[in-house]
Amino acid sequence: MRHSTIRITVVLIVLFVVMFFLFYPMNPSNTGLFGNIPLGLDIKGGSLLEYTFSGNITPDTANQVVTILRRRLDDANYTEANVSTLGNNGIRVEIPGIDNPQQAENLIGQRGELYFAQVLDTVQSPVKPAPKIGLQYAGAEWLLSKDPSVPPNTWYLVNRNIQVGAGTLQLNGSEVSNAHAAINTSTGGWEIDLSFNAKGAQDFYQITQALVGKPLAIVLDNYVLSAPIVQQPIQGGRAQITGNFTFKQAQDLAALIRSGNLPVTLNLSEEQTIGPTLGSDVIHTSIIVGLIGIAIVLAYMLIYYGPLMGLVADLALIYNSLFILGMLALTHSILTLPGIAGVILTIGITVDGNVIIFERIKEEMRTGKTPKAAITAGFTRSTAVILDANISTLIVAFVLYYFGTGSIKGFAVTLTIGILGTIFTSLVFSRVLMDYFSPFIKNKYLPASNAGQVQSVNPVQKNVNPEQKKGGNKK
């Protein structure tokens, strides 16, 4: 009873979570039944940006920019974006799910140059303050703050050459090994957590040791993101960028930092909103074909396994479909036509899991077990088979995601989510339903088994010697 209660609780919690992220309006601009699921270039369209380069341009510059932007877009969860070169002095970027080109420009157009700087002075001014003269101000510059927690038009005089003892140290984004969005448990909202490599951790400790009681500016693309006061020397190689960011802002900033600095400056030459790359007829036909396939599978399971087991299989399929869509909304994964193909593929995998379990339950019933005992034994003995089959497919999905790009990654994402949902649905959700329906399931193999036992005894009785019946055995 205790295990059954735990299974029911987990099923309900998962259902609540996926339904919440699937239907709760996260973004007012996204409307419709499944408005929380971002759609790809082939279904919805997006933004087109073209750039030219300025700076130290080499023959490999375009390929370097493509690699960095590809990594930046993947980290920001735009796995379906297209990045291509325009000769040796330009680049073209197509980003799905973004109707506002300015939003795309904020992610692509920035160089992503991160560094830490010593704060020498702070001024509030509507215009940039005049430079300060003196040896202590050599190399310093005024930078505007983007920290919403400080008054508007706040300028910081910063120097990236931080005074540490008799010398100076520099700490920039090349020393950051990882950056990710995290919840700010102190003030709410989101922040960016940074992790340094071994050299960066040592430099960061020395810098914070030298600046105890003083502000340390965190600068990205010549804007001060924040300038917290150093309370004590920080060991462990970790830092936080706070500022009451939204999740999307924190995610994009973390992607900028992880992807590294661009080797050149990008100059925007064209921006526009583009429509779907596939026609509406193709999209509608694909959706209709998918729905027809699902309907055929639902009908087949009801006909072959009867109203009870067939209903369990159908409900498991619907549950897994909601799980996949809800997880796509939760992870902000972009759905494309290859992704829809991945969803339809997992439908067959879900049915396979239930078929294995149902056939095993039938085998247990043929041995004379009650439906309840047969269900318990059937799920227990099917678990290893289902895990082996799905984990092998999961490994293939991981390989596709790691080595693939664009639509291949999108297919791998939906396939991975579908496989995880299939394992959960087959072993947990279906078990809950089968336990509930067990009192209504009859062992149709039990009467035939009893009859077989009677028939096997009668021939022995017929072959008894008549004389043995009258007087017993004769010596």
8 Å CB contact between 194 and 178: yes
Task: Write down the pLDDT at residue 111.
Answer: 66
Task: Write down the pLDDT at residue 37.
Answer: 79
CATH 1.20.1640.10: which residues of the chain? 2-32+275-455
8 Å CB contact between 131 and 123: no
Q: How many CB atoms lie within 10 A of CB 467?
A: 10
Give the CATH number of domain 2-32+275-455.
1.20.1640.10
| CATH top-level class of 46-108 | alpha beta
Task: Write down the pLDDT at residue 406.
Answer: 66
Measured distance CA(437)–CA(374) in Å, rounded: 13
Question: Looking at the domain 112-265, which fold is it?
Answer: Gyrase A; domain 2 (3.30.1360)
Task: Write down the pLDDT at residue 410.
Answer: 77
8 Å CB contact between 157 and 142: yes
Nearest to 12 by CA among 438, 435, 424, 440: 424
Task: Write down the pLDDT at residue 402.
Answer: 80
Nearest to 283 by CA among 335, 319, 332, 324: 335
3-state secondary structure the chain: CHHHHHHHHHHHHHHHHHHHHHHCCCCCCCCCCCCCCCECCCCCCEEEEEEEEECCCCCCHHHHHHHHHHHHHHHCCCCCCEEEECCCCEEEEEEECCCCHHHHHHHHCCCCCEEEEEEEEEEECCCCCCCCCCHHHCCCEEEEECCCCCCCCEEEEEECCEEECCEEECEEHHHEEEEEEEECCCCCCEEEEEEECHHHHHHHHHHHHHCECCEEEEEECCEEEECCEECCCCCCCEEEEEEEECHHHHHHHHHHHHHCCCCCEEEEEEEEEECCCCCHHHHHHHHHHHHHHHHHHHHHHHHHHHHHHHHHHHHHHHHHHHHHHHHHHHHCCCECHHHHHHHHHHHHHHHHHHHHHHHHHHHHHHCCCCHHHHHHHHHHHHHHHHHHHHHHHHHHHHHHHHHCCCHHHHHHHHHHHHHHHHHHHHHHHHHHHHHHHHHHCCCCCHHHHHHHHHHHHHHHHHCCCHHHHHHCCCC
CATH 3.30.1360.200: which residues of the chain? 112-265
Query: The pTM is what?
Result: 0.63
What's the chain's Rg over C-alpha atoms? 32
Task: Write down the pLDDT at residue 424.
Answer: 92
CATH 3.30.70.3400: which residues of the chain? 46-108
Average pLDDT across each block of 10 residues of the chain; the chain has 475 residues. List them in order.
83 90 68 68 80 77 81 74 82 79 71 84 91 86 86 91 88 84 79 87 91 88 84 85 76 76 80 73 74 85 86 90 87 80 80 88 87 89 89 89 76 88 91 88 64 40 45 43
Q: How many CB atoms lie within 10 A of CB 444?
A: 11
Could you tell me the CA-to-CA distances from 425 to 67, 300, 318, 378, 433 in Å, in that order?
39, 19, 10, 15, 11
